Structure 1
Amino acid sequence: MRVSFVNLFYPPDVAPSGSFVASLAEHRAAMGDEVTVICGSGAYLGRAATRASTSAAKTGLPVEGPRVIRVWTPGLGKASTAHRLADYLSFLAGAAMRLVVSPRQDVVVALTSPPYALIAAVVHRLVHPRARVVYWSHDVYPDAAEEYGTIRAGGAVSRVLRSVQRWLLRKTDHVIALDEAMLGRTLAHARVGLPAGSVIPNWERMSLFPRGEDPEPWEGYEAPELAGRFVVLYLGNLGYGHPTSTITGAAEALAEDGDVTFLFVGGGVRYPELAEEARRRGLDDVVLRGYVPKEVTPSVLAGAGCALISLDDGSRGIMSPCKLHGALASGLPVVYVGPVGTNVDEAIERYACGSSLRHGDVDGLADAVRRLRDDADLAAELSRNARRAFEDAYCDERTLPLFDELFEHLREPRPLWSVRTDRGRA
């Protein structure tokens, strides 16, 4: 079976979407598929990271199974909308051209990085009508651009983008979304001629978090501001959809306790804003560190007392935080601040592995942290539940077979179906 993936990022880049593509692409290659990954030459963290991340896997070289093709992009990063557009458009043009000249693929899987990467997959189908197109949605556009103020909701640009998305979805065989809210929101763009849809959550690799093994905590915990303290860990991107006002309020409330630190390890557009707010309010219990390589994340998680996840109320169905899965894999209780009905809220409700709170509930967040710090039995119970959730629904041993099942049905000429299982709905 010939399978191609289209995504702007791919390892060794740190972008989460790239790690999921790599996991699935390597899995399908190991099963005997002829797998190609079309990604960009730039990097998630911008030009500086590009040089490090492209030292291997140059255009067309096979890398541990999948053939990785890196199309040229300027690598301007995310400093401005113009920089983003330059990277996005150059990648879309290059990916589309690669797929135009490629032999017919049985399946082309397009993700949402960059937005409208689906264009490249549909272009291949226009050249090769027998090819199947799968849209693997990690974000919903143009909804995200409207929600975060990049374009005006209902404006001319929005209407054009919605028309493009509607046309693309009508050329798509199957949509994969990360939770039910995202699937509903994505399919709503099609209006008529809906493709089949599946909910398959993101995951972590079991090999990165093997059963019964406790990694040594990250060396960063030896710093004076972290040593001997109960650490509330936010690991990953702090973007437009991840507000921090409730978090900083709780950090201020807990400062008098003297033994709690809110540790942010990652980056994102809200990082400077958070750093300035912590400085202005004198929050010494808010500590920021940069991104770490993927293989280091188990050690970072191992030193924390709980995992913290924030999601904007308007982001329900637009994004689905993948911070959840590493926390569950590490057996960390999850403290979530955001709307109900998201993948994180549903996992907490289903597996009783943490606390689900709403924005503005500063006292609730502070109390949740204190309970985990002070009640060892409660923390141990939530930890066991978190690991059970990982093994039951959010590891590659559970999710990759769902893709295999879908790909088998994509071989068949009959109408496609929806993967809807309790395991996959979270």
Structure 2
Amino acid sequence: ALIWVLEAIEKFAYRTAHTVSVIAEGFVENLESKGVPSEKITCIPNWVDTSFIHPLPKENNAFRRAHQIEGKFVVLYSGNIALTQGLETVVEAAAQLCDVPDIVFVIVGEMKAVETLKRYCKTCGANNVVLLPFQPRESLPEMLAAADVGLIVQKHNVISFNMPSKTQVLLASGRPIIASVPGSGSAAKAIEKSCGGVVVEPENPVALAKQILELQKNPEHAERLGKQGRQYALERYSFEQALNQYENLFYQVKKSSQPIKPTYALSTNKPGAEG
């Protein structure tokens, strides 16, 4: 009964709203499937502070020094370690690359989840994984700059419109992305549009390991992906872009609505937050 009531409230909100603002293209498709007219829907992505998160050199990097990974090819995952992520895939890919001494995996997340992953690393024999708790915000630019590759990981069954906010952050950092995510989901579509990374089949450690090796062996290609991703972040995900889009949206609502009806925003993450 509660679900029915909530669904009724949801439908009422969509029907009476002048505009529905969403944070990813996948939400557009979801709302259209619920009967919301496409002309009612506006997509304004979450933003990232591109002046705070920006490309930095890997040389003389404080994060690399602190964790003794200087001179390594660093594969970084930082964010939630939850059921929807499937970090076991990353650990299994790391185990397959144990015989490549230059490659190291760094996983940063909530400490309790990190401890669970530590046991899984031992089970898989993945001795090339560095597990760390969440880092202070002021250390985030150096941590991202320490990476040669940033990872986004989801399971097969994740909701298609789930859009990890780490996508914008990694693109802004100027590092190439490997996304082990469903090909039809919002994350995959965003990365493909950005030309800032590659998408591989989710929950497939063999495919993930293969793509990591590809980027390690082709640094020029990796650098090109990173630059393209940074440019896309500036054009699509900067605070200024989001502000301009919201200002334009409010202007259009005010112009065409008498009286002004409420605008509803759907968001699963705080703007610019890790996740």
Cα separation, partners in 2 of 1:281 and 1:175, compared to 1, 3 Å: same
Once structures 1 and 2 are overlaid, which stretch shifts more, 195-204 or 301-310?
195-204
Cα separation, partners in 2 of 1:217 and 1:413, compared to 1, 3 Å: farther
Match of 1:183 in 2: 28
Match of 2:96 in 1: 253
Match of 2:208 among 365, 381, 391: 365
Q: Which amino acid aligns with 2:130?
A: V
* d(CA) in 2 for partners of 1:355, 1:194: 29
Match of 1:326 among 146, 169, 180: 169
Extract structure 1 runs of 4+ deviating beyond 3 A: 156-161, 167-173, 186-189, 191-195, 212-220, 268-273
SS of the residue corresponding to residue 308 of structure 1 reads: strand
Q: Supply the RMSD in Å over aligned alpha carbons.
A: 2.9
Say whether the 8 Å CA contact 2:58–2:146 is kept in structure 1.
Answer: no
Once structures 1 and 2 are overlaid, which stretch shifts more, 175-184 or 398-407?
175-184
* d(CA) in 1 for partners of 2:83, 2:111: 8
User: C-alpha displacement at 1:199, in angstroms?
Assistant: 1.1
Match of 2:124 in 1: 281
* d(CA) in 2 for partners of 1:387, 1:173: 34
* d(CA) in 2 for partners of 1:403, 1:216: 39
What is the CA deviation profile of residues 119-172 of structure 1, one whole-angstrom value per residue up to 9, with x for unaligned ones? xxxxxxxxxxxxxxxxxxxxxxxxxxxxxxxxxxxxx55444433433443454
Say whether the 8 Å CA contact 2:162–2:186 is kept in structure 1.
Answer: no
1:220 aligned onto 2:51: no
User: C-alpha displacement at 1:378, in angstroms?
Assistant: 1.3
* d(CA) in 2 for partners of 1:351, 1:286: 28
Once structures 1 and 2 are overlaid, which stretch shifts more, 388-397 or 166-175?
166-175
Q: Which amino acid aligns with 1:226?
A: I
* d(CA) in 2 for partners of 1:311, 1:230: 23
* d(CA) in 2 for partners of 1:174, 1:218: 46
Cα separation, partners in 2 of 1:166 and 1:314, compared to 1, 3 Å: farther
What is the CA deviation profile of residues 240-271 of structure 1, one whole-angstrom value per residue up to 9, with x for unaligned ones? 32112321221110111122222122328854
TM-score, normalised to structure 1's length? 0.54
User: C-alpha displacement at 1:193, in angstroms?
Assistant: 8.4
User: C-alpha displacement at 1:402, in angstroms?
Assistant: 0.6
User: C-alpha displacement at 1:327, in angstroms?
Assistant: 1.2
Say whether the 8 Å CA contact 2:162–2:187 is kept in structure 1.
Answer: no
Specify every segment of 5 or more residues in structure 1 that has no aligned partner in the other structure, as ranges: 1-155, 418-426
1:339 aligned onto 2:182: yes
1:349 aligned onto 2:207: no
Match of 1:393 in 2: 236
User: C-alpha displacement at 1:322, in angstroms?
Assistant: 0.9
Match of 1:204 among 48, 63, 66: 48
User: C-alpha displacement at 1:354, in angstroms?
Assistant: 1.6
* d(CA) in 2 for partners of 1:408, 1:360: 44
The number of residue pairs the alignment matches comes to 260
* d(CA) in 2 for partners of 1:348, 1:409: 29
* d(CA) in 2 for partners of 1:390, 1:246: 27
Cα separation, partners in 2 of 1:272 and 1:410, compared to 1, 3 Å: farther
SS of the residue corresponding to residue 131 of structure 2 reads: strand
* d(CA) in 2 for partners of 1:305, 1:282: 23
* d(CA) in 2 for partners of 1:239, 1:200: 26
SS of the residue corresponding to residue 109 of structure 2 reads: strand
1:376 aligned onto 2:219: yes
* d(CA) in 1 for partners of 2:19, 2:59: 42
Say whether the 8 Å CA contact 1:316–1:339 is kept in structure 2.
Answer: no
Match of 2:257 among 380, 399, 414: 414
TM-score, normalised to structure 2's length? 0.81
Once structures 1 and 2 are overlaid, which stretch shifts more, 169-178 or 401-410?
169-178
Say whether the 8 Å CA contact 1:251–1:262 is kept in structure 2.
Answer: yes
SS of the residue corresponding to residue 257 of structure 1 reads: coil
Q: Which amino acid aligns with 1:202?
A: N
Say whether the 8 Å CA contact 2:46–2:165 is kept in structure 1.
Answer: yes
User: C-alpha displacement at 1:186, in angstroms?
Assistant: 4.2
Q: Which amino acid aligns with 1:175?
A: V
* d(CA) in 2 for partners of 1:374, 1:386: 20
Q: What are the residue-to-residue correspondences of 1:6-405 with 2, within 5 Å?
A: 158-186=3-31, 188-189=33-34, 191=35, 196-209=40-53, 214=57, 219-223=62-66, 226-267=69-110, 270-405=113-248
User: C-alpha displacement at 1:223, in angstroms?
Assistant: 4.2
Cα separation, partners in 2 of 1:224 and 1:268, compared to 1, 3 Å: closer
SS of the residue corresponding to residue 233 of structure 1 reads: strand
SS of the residue corresponding to residue 255 of structure 2 reads: coil
* Greater share of residues in helix: 2
Specify every segment of 5 or more residues in structure 2 that has no aligned partner in the other structure, as ranges: 264-275
SS of the residue corresponding to residue 313 of structure 1 reads: coil
Q: Whose RCO is larger (CA < 8 A, sep 6+)?
A: 2
* d(CA) in 1 for partners of 2:68, 2:43: 41
